[in-house]
Amino acid sequence: MSNGFSRAGLDRLGALLRGQVESGHAPGALVVLAHHGEVRVESCGVLALEGPGAVTPMGADTICRLGSMSKPIVAACMMTLVDDGTLGLDDPVEAWLPELADMQVLAHPHAALDDTVPAQRPITVRDVLAFTLGTGMVLAPPGEAPIADALEGVYGVPPDEWIARLGALPLVHQPGERWLYHTGSDVAGVLIARATGRSFGRALRERICQPLEMRDTGFIVPEEHLHRFATAYALDEASGQLVVDDFSHGTFRGVKVFESGDGGLVSTADDFLAFATAMRNGGLHEGVQVLSPGAAAAMTTDQLSAAQKQVSGFWPGYFDEMGWGFGVSVRTVDAPGGPSVGTYGWPGYFGTAWYNDPAADLTTIVMWQNWQGGDQRLPMWQDLWAAVYGALDRS
């Protein structure tokens, strides 16, 4: 094929998706590839195992829970505030978030909550974007690390109360010392709201979604679009069957108590392709500079030092082949036959994923809705990425 795709490779990718659906991994699956100016969509299956969605085909306009794929959009929104001078990357956030001023820091990550020392410096905007603000997801069994249990209890309340609860807890590490996942995107949401004088959702619409024409991206699904909303599933370990998971990352109907930047957005493949394409074009979308080229470059450059990657991540060696920019991972080692150095993007809890590979001129967006499907160590992902790169015509 003259457009940069291999027909045989696309057929193999389609067969892989059909195999995942037929094996019961999810009722439907979709992959979008944009390469050398051409876009290909491979999809199969339906939106749900039963009900009206069981006869509705999976498509590029299917609304899906993004999970952690929300994080890049949130980071881009915050960078528009850096672009317009409202925020500076090295500004202390306490000007907007006084709840995070004069923080205490645990003597060590498993210390008692009152075993602390003063923070050596304020938390900055850069820390929030790079996830080096000193707090975040602490992976520990219940009862093993007091801070892990305490952080679980800060959610389920409005933003002002949430940030007050967070600020009342000690940091896990000194600001700027280590990377910790997750919480930075929620702090970013509260910061964006206060800096703009808007709700977080409204600021996101005005600064990112409307300029990029991302009409189906937001924190709720309007009633009139529920017929396009894919059902999410979790695996019931007792029965081995998929069961409906309506509540992970919150409900998506009605008014949101807390608009979560870490994983609360829904979107479509069409919408996310607009965002991904703007990122590849230095923030430019159809003649509109949504994000400055410098801001897009900062987001997609590894911002972490070797020291910040120590005792971080989710498992040993987590940062051996990647770093972290603002809201996205950044690949630091070539994968033979796969992603190149400089590839950036992020997956989501329900099996969504997005990556831009500038060296290959490739954008890949994956959409399905299965609990923990976003774990990139799963064999299905290794097979999928091999099929994605096998679909490119490298002749």
Reported residue count of the chain is: 395
Comparing CA positions, the residue from 376, 229, 300, 361 lying closest to residue 72 is 300
Q: Is the residue at 205 inside a domain?
A: no
Q: What is the pLDDT of residue 248?
A: 57
Task: Indicate whether 224 and 372 sit together in one domain.
Answer: yes
In whole angstroms, what is the distance from residue 115 CA to residue 117 CA?
7
Q: Is the residue at 395 inside a domain?
A: no
Q: Is the residue at 209 inside a domain?
A: no
Q: Is the residue at 2 inside a domain?
A: no
Q: Is the residue at 187 inside a domain?
A: yes
Task: Indicate whether 57 and 91 sit together in one domain.
Answer: no
Q: Is the residue at 44 inside a domain?
A: yes
Task: Indicate whether 222 and 335 sit together in one domain.
Answer: yes
Q: Which residues contact 82 (CB under 8 A, 6 or more apart)?
A: 88, 89, 125, 295
Task: Indicate whether 126 and 47 sit together in one domain.
Answer: no
As given in the structure block, the two tokens for residue 297 are 């470059």
Q: Are 341 and 334 in contact (CB under 8 A)?
A: yes
Q: Which residues contact 247 (CB under 8 A, 6 or more apart)?
A: none
**What residues form DSSP beta bridges with 46?**
57
DSSP designation for 358 = G
Q: What is the pLDDT of residue 251?
A: 77
Label residue 157 exposed, middle or buried (CB < 10 Å: 0-12, 13-18, 19+): middle
Q: What is the pLDDT of residue 1?
A: 42
Q: Is the residue at 208 inside a domain?
A: no
Among the candidates 166, 200, 234, a domain finishes at: 200
In whole angstroms, what is the distance from residue 369 CA to residue 189 CA?
24
- Tens digits of per-residue pLDDT, 192-210? 999 999 999 999 999 999 9
**Domain residue limits at 138:** 76-200
Residue segments in the chain with a per-residue pLDDT below the cut of 70: 1-3, 247-250, 372-374, 395
Phi, psi torsion values for 190, nearest 5 degrees: -70, -40
Task: Indicate whether 374 and 242 sit together in one domain.
Answer: yes
Task: Indicate whether 99 and 178 sit together in one domain.
Answer: yes
Among the candidates 150, 174, 200, a domain finishes at: 200
Task: Indicate whether 241 and 301 sit together in one domain.
Answer: yes
Task: Indicate whether 98 and 234 sit together in one domain.
Answer: no
Task: Indicate whether 176 and 222 sit together in one domain.
Answer: no
Count of domains for the chain: 2
Task: Indicate whether 65 and 125 sit together in one domain.
Answer: no
Task: Indicate whether 251 and 304 sit together in one domain.
Answer: yes
- Tens digits of per-residue pLDDT, 358-376? 999 999 999 999 876 667 8
Q: What is the pLDDT of residue 380?
A: 86
In whole angstroms, what is the distance from residue 87 CA to residue 96 CA?
10
Task: Indicate whether 81 and 64 sit together in one domain.
Answer: no
CATH of the domain at 381: 3.40.710.10
Comparing CA positions, the residue from 31, 3, 77, 1 lying closest to residue 361 is 3
